[in-house]
Structure 1
Amino acid sequence: MSHSAAPKDLADLRRFRFERVLNEDPLIHSIALLGTLSEDPEVQAIIRIEKTALDASDAPRLFAEDGLIQSVKLEQSTDIYTWFFGWFGEGRERDVKINVVCPATETHIRKYTKQTYVMVRETPELYRNVVKPYVAAFPASRTQWVENILQGISEQSKLLYSDSDFLILPDMKWDLKTVSSLYLVVLVQDRTIRSLRDLKKSHLPLLKSIHAQAEKVVSQKWGLGPGSLRMYVHYQPSYYHFHVHVVNANYEGGMLGMAVGQAHLLDDVISLLEIDSSEGDGVFQRMTLTYSLGSQNKLLENIQAHGGLPA
């Protein structure tokens, strides 16, 4: 192959001599490599590899006897949630991660259905009259998988840190392999904290400890230094047991869960509580919170039924 010729087949591509990784994007599952395709080391080449999207027309035969997915490996399972990695053939890298929810409730079906979003302005009154009763009515079964972890029934081999107040472990969305997309979750033992709305000044020691231990864990295990993490809390959260998301600051895929109005940085939460009064309701009980809700979300129906209007 001449210096100026582009590769024409797999034989040409096999001439590639890898030098280094230029970029990797966990969001779109791509990687860019620098190396050479010729015998002349001065003539460099860049090869970018991106996993292709799944075709919806292949859905009926994904798990058929002669279907696309040829093998799977169980990654983890807790209560109604199970995760696998799947392969389309022998000798391949993991092609897909397979998440299973079974048995799936109507709420789960709504959550995973494509929907439009509207902005909701949740005043303290709206929270007390509609949102708080909605959260209180959730059956314990919805967070049984969290209880299983907190009580030592499941996921104990994956714990990165544990004490009487909280524990840290890899989030189900992380592949446990790619540090650039590192994603951990912190689950607190205090069952009275359901969401951001329940936080008060008295919780400052807990939140500061979470911040410090998360930094310590990633420093010791993966060598990530100060400023390498983005820690945040969702409101509304996907489940009503207080937890903190801990992701690599360079993980762009995490932006899907960091939309304005949804993600609240742990540092900002701590700062607000530090300047808050220690008497009566705290800042998160007094402030109006604006966020988006999907059209399939039952909470949105409750808010609209109560006369609450989108922002």
Structure 2
Amino acid sequence: MDFNLERFVFERVLNEDLTTQAVTLLGSLKPNNDSDSDGLGVPAIVRIERTALPTFSSGLISTTSLIGSTDIYSWMFGWLSPSQDRPDVKINVICPATDVHIRKYSKQQTHIMRETPTLYERIVRPYIDAFPASRTQWIDEVISGRSEGEKILFRSPDSDPFGFLILPDMKWDLTSTASLYLVALMLLPDIKCLRDLTCLHLPLLRSIRREATNAVKTRWGLEATELRLFVHYQPSYYHFHVHIVNANHTGLVGMTVGHAHMLDDIISLLELDEPNGPSIFQRMTLSYDLGEQHGLFAPMKAAQVDYAEA
């Protein structure tokens, strides 16, 4: 849909993050082709974050204002010179935004959950199976080539049963290598999450690691040791994907212990697994943080009582 942010009507702040210098707003947007000035807009989430500071060069700072000084120390406000090639902020828009999106992006307390294989089968798996297809429609658009085809850095042959593609994540500004953020998406929806992985998927995981490091090395000159490849559990959407991030890009949402599982560690665990029987991820108890607005929170929180003294 075609939207102009000048038509955004602010309702409330969902979240502010001082670490990433980002603010998430809830409001409404009207399509540019909607001439009815009195008509209601479509619910929208707008996330605004500061882009990474550019490499310093002469003329970068246009104006300063002294705040104070003492002895050899001074501190001041500064304004960067306007530049068409260096935007000040990056803006992500979700429109129309559903109640699920609003809960996800709202500030919320998190709790640590212990998910046994039994709890996975009883609570989590039914939740995944009921996950609406509309939440992953954007993935179908990318895989089919109807969206973002020009951004794809690597794509397996469609005949590969464990094929995948690699492209920039929407979190990245496509400019600063220091904040590089890519994602590898499975072409087929067979694997939903970490729990589905078995040793049969080792060729897939090794291939993602290899092609991701090759693409980044060729395009941006970063070594394999400068990359952090990880998988989320619980993920934001249940279509298997791997995050590929500059290792020095720290403090991101989703990098907490338990939530992010290093791809190298996943491969190592599966290499220790037996070829027959349930995989290690089907047998493990997994601990992770879950926000109070997450759809799994209420049933998982209630189920924790049974394991509090275990």
Q: TM-score under structure 1 normalisation?
A: 0.71
Quote the Cα distance in structure 2 between the aligned partners of 1:195 and 1:125: 16
Residue in structure 2 matching 1:239, options 237, 240, 249: 237
The correspondence of residues 99-138 of structure 1 with structure 2, limited to 5 A, is 99-138=92-131
Aligned-residue offset at 1:212: 0.3
Aligned-residue offset at 1:186: 0.3
The correspondence of residues 144-163 of structure 1 with structure 2, limited to 5 A, is 144-163=137-156
Quote the Cα distance in structure 2 between the aligned partners of 1:246 and 1:169: 10
Two-structure CA RMSD over aligned residues (Å): 3.0
For 1:292, what is the secondary structure of its paired residue? strand
Aligned-residue offset at 1:95: 2.4
Quote the Cα distance in structure 1 between the aligned partners of 2:78 and 2:277: 54
Distance change >3 Å, CA 194–CA 49, structure 1 → 2: farther
Is the 1:186–1:246 contact (alpha carbons within 8 Å) kept by the matching residues of 2? yes
Aligned amino acid, residue 264 of structure 1 = H
Quote the Cα distance in structure 1 between the aligned partners of 2:77 and 2:242: 33
Is the 2:185–2:241 contact (alpha carbons within 8 Å) kept by the matching residues of 1? yes
Quote the Cα distance in structure 2 between the aligned partners of 1:223 and 1:48: 36
Aligned-residue offset at 1:253: 4.0
Report what 1:268 is aligned to. 265
Is the 2:156–2:165 contact (alpha carbons within 8 Å) kept by the matching residues of 1? yes
For 1:298, what is the secondary structure of its paired residue? coil
Distance change >3 Å, CA 216–CA 32, structure 1 → 2: closer
Quote the Cα distance in structure 2 between the aligned partners of 1:46 and 1:237: 45
Distance change >3 Å, CA 273–CA 33, structure 1 → 2: same
Is the 1:180–1:248 contact (alpha carbons within 8 Å) kept by the matching residues of 2? yes
Comparing 202-211 with 222-231, greater Cα deviation is found at 222-231
Distance change >3 Å, CA 228–CA 92, structure 1 → 2: closer
Identity of aligned residues (%): 51
For structure 2, which runs of at least 5 residues remain unmatched after alignment? 1-18, 22-51, 62-72, 158-162
Report what 2:209 is aligned to. 211
Aligned amino acid, residue 229 of structure 2 = M
Is the 1:30–1:48 contact (alpha carbons within 8 Å) kept by the matching residues of 2? no
- Aligned residues between the structures: 242
Quote the Cα distance in structure 1 between the aligned partners of 2:305 and 2:79: 43
Q: What do residues 14-59 of structure 1 show as CA deviations (whole Å, max 9, x unaligned)?
A: xxxxxxxxxxxx945446858899xxxxxxx99998899xxxxxxx
For structure 1, which runs of at least 5 residues remain unmatched after alignment? 1-25, 38-44, 53-88
Residue in structure 1 matching 2:300, options 265, 281, 303: 303
Q: What do residues 193-217 of structure 1 show as CA deviations (whole Å, max 9, x unaligned)?
A: 0000100010000000000000100
Quote the Cα distance in structure 2 between the aligned partners of 1:33 and 1:310: 53
Q: What do residues 162-219 of structure 1 show as CA deviations (whole Å, max 9, x unaligned)?
A: 1130000001010101011111000011311000010001000000000000010011
Quote the Cα distance in structure 1 between the aligned partners of 2:57 and 2:88: 23
Report what 1:200 is aligned to. 198
Quote the Cα distance in structure 1 between the aligned partners of 2:250 and 2:177: 13
Is the 2:154–2:165 contact (alpha carbons within 8 Å) kept by the matching residues of 1? yes
Report what 2:134 is aligned to. 141
Quote the Cα distance in structure 2 between the aligned partners of 1:90 and 1:147: 36
Aligned-residue offset at 1:112: 1.1
| Largest Rg, 1 or 2 | 1
Aligned-residue offset at 1:226: 3.0
Comparing 264-273 with 245-254, greater Cα deviation is found at 245-254
Report what 1:228 is aligned to. 226
Aligned-residue offset at 1:298: 1.4
Q: TM-score under structure 2 normalisation?
A: 0.71
Distance change >3 Å, CA 50–CA 160, structure 1 → 2: farther
Quote the Cα distance in structure 2 between the aligned partners of 1:308 and 1:151: 45
The correspondence of residues 21-60 of structure 1 with structure 2, limited to 5 A, is 27=20, 29-30=52-53, 33=56
Distance change >3 Å, CA 184–CA 92, structure 1 → 2: closer
Distance change >3 Å, CA 90–CA 123, structure 1 → 2: same
Aligned amino acid, residue 147 of structure 1 = D
Is the 2:181–2:245 contact (alpha carbons within 8 Å) kept by the matching residues of 1? yes
Quote the Cα distance in structure 2 between the aligned partners of 1:291 and 1:206: 25
Quote the Cα distance in structure 2 between the aligned partners of 1:299 and 1:259: 18
Report what 2:34 is aligned to. none
